[in-house]
A and B are shown apart, each in its own frame.
Chain A
Amino acid sequence: MAMVQQLPDDNHFVDVKPVNKKENRQQGSALYAKRVKIHPRRVKGLFRQLKWYIMAGSLTVYYLAPWIRWDRGPDAPNQAILIDFPARRFYFFFIEIWPHELYYIAGLLIMAGIGLFLTASIVGRAWCGYFCPQTVWVDLFLVVERWVEGDRNKRIRLDRAPWSLEKMFKRAAKHSIWLLIALLTGGAWVFYFADAPKFAVELVTLHAPFVAYATVGVMTLTTYVFGGLMREQVCTYMCPWPRVQGAMVDEDTMTITYRGWRGEPRAPIRTKRSAPLPEGAPEPGDCIDCNHCVVVCPMGIDIRDGQQLECISCGLCIDACNTMMAKVGRPANLIAYDTYRRDKLKAEKSEVQETHLIRPRTLVYIGLWCLVGIAMLFALATRSTIEANALRDRNPLYVQLSDGSIRNGFTLKVRNMLPREREMILSVRGLGNSGILMPDAKETDIVVPITIKADSVLSQHFFVVAGEVGAKISAKEFTFRLMDSGDGKIIETDAIFRGPAK
C-alpha cells in the first residue's frame, strides 16, 4: 500500500465519536444536552466536486441575478428579476405579474413542493445535501474556517489551545470574513426588491430607507448565526424538512447506503489481516474501521449505523470511503447511493433488480408537476391584457331626476396591462333608452371616449340615466361595453340598474 501524505494518524485510523451514537448519548434522563462540536475534515471525490459545482452555480445566480438588465421601455424598471412592492408588480424577464395574479406564485410554490417530493422519492434528501441554502452557506463558511484555521486536526488543536495573540487573530479573521459574507448575502437579498445599481449607491451613501438596513441586518445576523455558529444544529433541531423528507423515503429511494453485507465484520487494519484468523472466525469485511466516513460528515454521524435523521445525503462519506478503499486496494462503493430493496437483495445474494426510479409514485409526481406547469403556462399565454369591472353606487340606490328619468351612479374600473395607453369607447347595452352622464357634463351621451394610461387601473365615476323606461325598472341586468378604438377589441362587464319599481 502506498503511504499517503495527508493521513498523519497511524494505520489510517481516526479517533472520532459520532454525535448521535448510542454509547455517546447522555446517560440518565437529563433534560438538556450540551452541543458536541464537530470538525469535518476536507475530502476529495466525485460528490465533493458535484457539491462545489452546485455551490458555485447557485451562489453565482443568487448574487448576480439582480444585476441582469431587461429593457421594458422608458416607463418601466429595467431589472430582469424584480419584486416591486411600491408599484405592486413582479417582473421576471418578459413576464410581468400583477397582484391579482398572485396565484402564479401559488402555482410555482406547488410545483416547488411537488418537485421536492419527487426528488425525495428518487434520491432522498438530495435537496438537503446539495441545494439547501443552509448546506451551501455552512459549506462556504467551512471553507473559510479551513482557510484561516487549517484542516481538522489544526482546528481541534486551536480549540484546545489557550488564548494567544495568534488564536485571537485567527478567530477575529474568521468571524470577520464570515460577517462580511453574511453582509453581502443580506445585501444581495434586498437587491431583488429594488433597482440594484441605484439601490446599491443609496445603501452605501446611507440614503436607503430604514427597512432596507433592517432587512440587511436581519439577513446578516441569521446568515452568520445559522451558517457560522449553529451549522448542523439547524438541520437536526430546527428544520422540518428532514422529518418530511425522511417520511417520504421508500424502499426504492436511492439513499446513502453502507453495504454491511460487504463491510462487516469490521477489521481495523492495525489489528491486521496478516495475522492468522482464529478457528471459525468469519472472513473480515471490507470496512477497515478507519472512521473517515465519520470524520468528513458535516453532521458528525456514522453512516454505518444506517439511515438516520441527521444524514443529509451529501455523499461526502462515499468520497471518503472510496479514497480509503483505493489506498488499501479494495473495490470502491462500500458506501454508495442505493435503494433499500436492492441492498437487501444483495445482502441475501439474490438476483438484483433494476432501480425502480420510474415507478407509479414518481410518475404521479412528474404528472402533477407537468400539469400545474402547463396550466400556468397556458394561463399566462392566454391572459387578457384588459379587464373592466363596474361597481354600482350603493347609496343612493337610484335618483329620480326632475324629468322623471332614473339615474344610477357607477364606478368603472378598467385595468390596462399593456405598456401603452389605450383609448376606448364606452357604451351601455341592454338598457333601452339610456345614456351616460360623465362628471361635469351637461347632457348624456350614448357613447363616451375613455383613455386608460399605460400599465395602470382607471377608476372612473359616472352616471347612467334611463329615460321613460327607468321608472318601471326594479332591477335590470345590462352590460357596459368597451371597444378599443385602436384594434377594435371589445370587452364587456355586467351591471345591474336599480329603479323605483317594486
Chain B
Amino acid sequence: MATKIERDEVSGVDTTGHVWDGIKELNTPLPRWWVWIFYATIIWSVGYWIAYPAWPTLTGYTKGLLGYSSRAELETNMTAARAAQAANLDKIEAMSLVEIKADANLLQFAVAGGKSAFAVNCSQCHGSGASGAVAYPNLNDDDWLWGGTLDALQTSISHGIRDMRDDDTRISDMPAFLSDELLDKTQVAQVAEFVLSLSGSEHDAAAAKEGAMLFEENCAACHGETGQGDQEQGAPKLSNQIWLYGGDRATIVETISYSRKGMMPAWNGILDEATIKQLTLYVHSLGGGE
C-alpha cells in the first residue's frame, strides 16, 4: 500500500509513496499520447477477436468474420504444392526411366520423391536406411536377387515377390531339401560345406568334396555351377559375402533344409505409376544400382 506520497524537491514530481530500504520512486505522469496508443491497441485487439478465431465456446470456438483457419491455410498450401509437383509428376509418368535419368533436375525431383515414398511404404521391411535386416534385402549393396537394373527394379517393385494377387509376380521356388526328403541330413551338411567353400569361408574340405557332386546335381541348375546365381530365376549368388539369411554354417543348413520363401508386396495396384518410377530411381541411386 502506498503510505507516504511526497513531492520531490528537485523535479516537482510526486513519489509513488512506496519506500524500499530508503529508496523512493518518482511517479512522473505518462504522456497522454501513450495512453491513447494503449487504448488503440485494445480496440485493435477487439477487432482481432471479431475478425479471427478467438474465443472458446462450450462446444467449439468463435470462428471470426474472415473465416481464417490454419488447417485451411495448410490445405491451400498443400494443394498449391501438389499443383506445382503435378507438372513434374506428369513428366515422370510419361517418360521412360532412362529419359528421366538423363534430365538432371527431374532426376533430383524423382529421387527425392522416391525417398519420401520409400520412408512411407518400404522402410517397414527394408529399414529406414534401406539396409534391410535378416530376410529383408539390403538395397544399398551391389548384390541383387532379381537384378539391379532400372527395369529389373521397376518390375520387382511393381509386381512384388510371391504376391499371389499379382499375375506377373516374381516367383522363385527352392526345394526344401530335407523336409521334401530330397537329401538326408548328412548330405545337407556336405552341401553346406561346399557352399561355404564357394565364398571362400572356412569349411571342411573333405565334406565339401562330397558336397560338390550333390551341388552339381541338385543346386547348379538354379544357382549355377560356381554358385554365381541366376537373376532370371531369383537364385542368389552363393560365391559372395552377402547373405540374406546368414552365412554361418547353421543358417546355411537351415536354408537348404527348409528353403526360403520371402514375400514382397506388388505395388502396382497400390501406388501409381509415377511413384513406382520414383521409387525405382531412388533405389537405383543408393549405390548398388546396375
Contacts and interface: CB of A to CB of B under 8 A. Distances in A.
Interface of A: 20-26, 28-35, 230, 233, 237, 393-397, 399-404, 407, 409, 437, 439, 463
Interface residues of B, number: 32
Contacts of B14: 28-29
A441 to B, nearest CB: 10
Nearest to B131: A396
A403 B240 CA distance: 6
A221 to B, nearest CB: 14
A402 B141 contact: yes
B176 to A, nearest CB: 26
Contact of A31 (B10, B29, B33, B127): B29
Contacts of B242: 400-402
B141 A31 contact: no
Interface string B6-28: 00011111100000000000010
A463 B141 CA distance: 12
A153 B130 CA distance: 85
Contact of A233 (B31, B143, B285): B31
B30 A31 contact: yes
A373 B202 CA distance: 69
B140 interface: yes
A84 to B, nearest CB: 24
B180 to A, nearest CB: 29
Interface in B152-209: none
Interface in B113-129: 127-129
B11 A20 contact: yes
Contacts of B41: none
Contacts of A32: 29-32, 34-35
B31 A35 contact: yes
B241 A400 contact: yes
A29 B285 CA distance: 78
Nearest to B2: A29
B281 to A, nearest CB: 12
Contact of A21 (B5, B12, B27, B128): B12
B143 A402 contact: yes
A399 B31 contact: no
A142 B242 CA distance: 85
Contacts of A402: 141-143, 237, 240-242
Given A401-B142, A402-B143, A402-B237, A23 B12 contact: yes
Contact of B30 (A33, A230, A397): A33
A401 B141 contact: yes
Interface in B265-290: 285, 287-288
28 contacts: A22-B11, A25-B11, A25-B12, A26-B29, A29-B27, A31-B29, A31-B30, A32-B34, A35-B33, A233-B31, A233-B33, A394-B129, A395-B128, A395-B131, A396-B129, A396-B140, A399-B138, A399-B140, A399-B288, A401-B143, A401-B241, A402-B142, A402-B240, A402-B242, A403-B241, A404-B240, A437-B287, A463-B287
Contact of B29 (A33, A399, A439): A33
A400 B243 CA distance: 10
A22 B32 contact: no
Contact of B287 (A23, A26, A28, A399): A399
Contacts of A395: 128-129, 131
Given A22-B12, A395-B128, A399-B140, 11 more contacts: A20-B11, A25-B13, A28-B14, A29-B14, A32-B34, A237-B34, A393-B129, A394-B129, A400-B241, A402-B242, A463-B287
Contact of B32 (A35, A393, A394, A437): A35
Contacts of A33: 29-32
Nearest to B285: A439
A395 B143 CA distance: 19
A251 to B, nearest CB: 19
Nearest to A24: B12
A234 to B, nearest CB: 11
A233 B37 CA distance: 14
A133 B9 CA distance: 34
Contacts of B29: 26, 30-33
A439 B289 CA distance: 10
B133 to A, nearest CB: 11
A230 B242 CA distance: 79
Contacts of B11: 20, 22, 25
A44 to B, nearest CB: 32
B3 to A, nearest CB: 14
A395 B130 CA distance: 8
Interface string B24-52: 00010111111100000000000000000
A230 B36 CA distance: 14
A482 B175 CA distance: 54
A402 B241 CA distance: 5
A393 B237 CA distance: 28
A429 B200 CA distance: 30
A458 B32 CA distance: 58
Given A25-B11, A29-B14, A401-B142, A407 B287 contact: yes
B112 to A, nearest CB: 13
B88 to A, nearest CB: 21
Contacts of B143: 401-402
Contact of B241 (A230, A397, A404): A404
B5 to A, nearest CB: 6
Nearest to A462: B287
Contacts of A393: 129
A407 B13 CA distance: 79
Nearest to B14: A29
A174 B289 CA distance: 75
B123 to A, nearest CB: 10
A439 B240 CA distance: 23
B131 A29 contact: no
Contacts of A30: 29
B200 to A, nearest CB: 9
A31 B28 CA distance: 8
